[in-house]
Each structure stands twice: as structure tokens, then as C-alpha cells.
Amino acid sequence: MSLPALTAELAVASRCTLGEGPQWHAATGRLYWCDILARRLHWLAPSTGATGQHSLDHRVSLAAPLTSGELLLVGEDRLSRFAPHNGRVETLLDFEADNPVTRSNDGRVDRHGSLWLSSMGKAAEPGAGSLYRLHRGELTRLRTGLTIPNAICFSPDGEFAWFTDTVTGVVMRWALDREGWPLGKPTHWADVSATSGHPDGAVVDAEGYLWLALWGAGQVVRLDHDGHIVAKIELPVSQPSCPVFAGKNLERLYITTAREGLDQASLAAQPLAGALFVADVGVTGLAEPVLRLT
């Protein structure tokens, strides 16, 4: 049986080297995403089409909205508070600052207003990455020995977390307690290693289904509650990195992409690589809590 095939269209021709970490900031009506390697923070106001960017002095992979209206920047060696209206940056915590091999990678706020975030080797060194939880300003390491930790997201009721180590091709599911802390060991939930791509970033919709970017395959797939692929979005570029729902009613799915590692022939064949794309997928997103630091 063929899967429902959806298409994505260009939203912003941002030409990111490594577009990542899209986050919807409901209070300001802006979607933020990062170009990790170019050290830029991009934004889009979907209601008006206005766009902009901020230059940064270090590699940042995520800009999570705070209750103050500012953003928490998850960077290669630090976590910082950022004020978009004036560009002021205040360092809050070190993040693997003593490890020059690693940088930050994926992240998402859980159902309790805490941030799960990950690190990885700058050259994807095997086993160099870790998974953390920032809960009320305190950073706790949850898991080590990962290579490219990705696809961090959470079930609507907060009962489970998902993540992947991209190189394995397997999405893991982890039971959580009432405070959002992991219980026992994570279990295999979905194996996408037979596809032509590799699991990257993910987000959960209002029906509790997971939308997963397949790096290298030019697709974002929708997985049901049992981890089966039930729909897919085809993109005109090969390296989608992470999806997110955005807009006043979380009615559209936006997808970051990358140009990193593509040779001249590949770039000529996919000139929109690194752009932000958008798709109408027939379902709305799941509103995510704002990050709480205290």
C-alpha cells in the first residue's frame, strides 16, 4: 500500500550550512531556527512573512523561548539568555565547556517546562555525545556514549520521551515519571534503518504521532503510536534536519534543511538546500510549554 505523499514548499531561502533547532515562540509570533556552523539565528513571522537574523559569536543549535520573553541559546560550550530586541547575551551555565571535542545538537522542552538537550562530537566522533535535562536551572546528564543524539520529543501526556542516536537508525522510547525523569532503560520503538535516510530531528503532533526528518532521504515521515510510517513529506532537498509546528494555531509544519557535506554537483541539483520549508499536513501541532529556569 502506498503512503500518503505530501509536498513541502519554500518558506525562507535561508541557505543554511546546517539549519537546525526550529522553535515556535508563541508570545512573539516568531519561528526561530539556527545555522549552527554559520553561527546565525534566523527568524520568521509567519503571519506577515517578515524575516531576520542575528549573528552569534559561537555555534548555537537551539533557541528555546523563556517565560521572560527572551530565548535560551543552547551553544557549543554554554547556555545563554538572549534578548532578541537588543541582542544582549548573558551566559548562564557552562555546557561541556571543558570538552573541546563536542558541541550542542538537538533539544526540546518537555511537558514540565524543562529542556532536554544533547551534545555530539564536532566531527561526529563515535560515542562522544550525551543527553541532558535542564530542570529549573540545574543540568543533569541522563545518558552518555551516544554519537549523534537527535529526535528529542515527548508524548502529549508526558508519559514518554523519544530520542535517537542517528547512526543506529533506531528511534528509542523512554518511560518518564510524574516529574518527567526517565524510568529504567529506553526501549527500541521504531527502526528506520531500512530507509535511504537517517533519523534526525522530530516533533509530535496533536494526535501524538511523531514527525521525523530523514537526513539524506529528502523526507519527513509520520509515525503512528506503534512506530509505523503512515505518511511522508517529499522535499526538493536531500538533508532535512528537523520539523516543527508553527503559526497561530500550530497549523503548518516547518522543516529546516542543510547544505553541509554536499558537493558542487549536489548543490547544483538542489539549489534550495539549506532553506526553510513548510507543508500543510492536515493535522495541527502540540503546543509546547515555555522553558522554566526556576
Q: What is the pLDDT of residues 54-83, one digit of tens each?
A: 999 999 999 999 988 899 999 999 999 999
Identify the domain containing residue 204 by its residue range: 5-279
Number of domains in the chain: 1
Tens-digit pLDDT profile for residues 247-280:
999 999 999 999 999 999 999 999 999 999 999 9
**Does 291 map to a domain?**
no
φ, ψ of residue 168 to 5 degrees: the values are: -85, -25
**Does 255 map to a domain?**
yes
CATH code of the domain in which 134 resides: 2.120.10.30
Q: What is the pLDDT of residue 67?
A: 84
Residue 249, annotated ligand binder? no
Q: Does residue 3 have a pLDDT over 80?
A: no
**Does 45 map to a domain?**
yes
- The 10 Å CB-count burial string (b at 16+, else e) for 197-215 is bbbbbbbbbeeebbbbbbb
**Does 284 map to a domain?**
no
**Does 68 map to a domain?**
yes
Cell digits of residue 199: 533519523
Residue 105, annotated ligand binder? yes
**Does 241 map to a domain?**
yes
**Does 290 map to a domain?**
no
- As a whole number of angstroms, the distance between CA 204 and CA 110 comes to 11
**Does 289 map to a domain?**
no
Question: Residue 249 — left, alpha, or beta (φ > 0 → left; ψ -120 to 50 → alpha)?
Answer: alpha
Tens-digit pLDDT profile for residues 179-237:
999 999 999 999 999 988 999 999 999 999 999 999 999 999 999 999 999 999 999 99
Residues taking part in catalysis: 200
Residue 103, annotated ligand binder? yes
**Strand 229-234 relative to strand 5-7: parallel, antiparallel, unpaired?**
parallel
φ, ψ of residue 55 to 5 degrees: the values are: -85, 140
Q: Please enumerate in sequence order all residues whose Cβ is within 8 A of that of 109, keeping only pairs 6 or more positions apart, or say none.
A: 64, 115, 116, 288, 289, 290, 291
Average pLDDT over residues 12-29: 97
Tens-digit pLDDT profile for residues 131-173:
999 999 999 999 999 999 999 999 999 999 999 999 999 999 9
Q: What is the pLDDT of residue 5?
A: 80
Q: What is the 3-state secondary structure (H, E, C) of the chain?
A: CCCCEEECEEEECCCCCEEEEEEEECCCCEEEEEECCCCEEEEEECCCCEEEEEECCCCEEEEEEECCCCEEEEECCEEEEEECCCCEEEEEEECCCCCCCEEEEEEEECCCCCEEEEEEECCCCCCCEEEEEEECCEEEEEEEEECCEEEEEECCCCCEEEEEEHHHCEEEEEEECCCCCECCCCEEEEECCCCCCEEEEEEEECCCCEEEEEECCCEEEEECCCCCEEEEEECCCCCEEEEEEECCCCCEEEEEEECCCCCHHHHHHCCCCCCEEEECCCCCECCCCCECCC
Residue 224, annotated ligand binder? no
Q: What is the pLDDT of residue 1?
A: 52
Average pLDDT over residues 110-128: 98
Q: What is the pLDDT of residue 85?
A: 86
Q: What is the pLDDT of residue 13?
A: 98
Residue 86, annotated ligand binder? no
- As a whole number of angstroms, the distance between CA 98 and CA 165 comes to 23
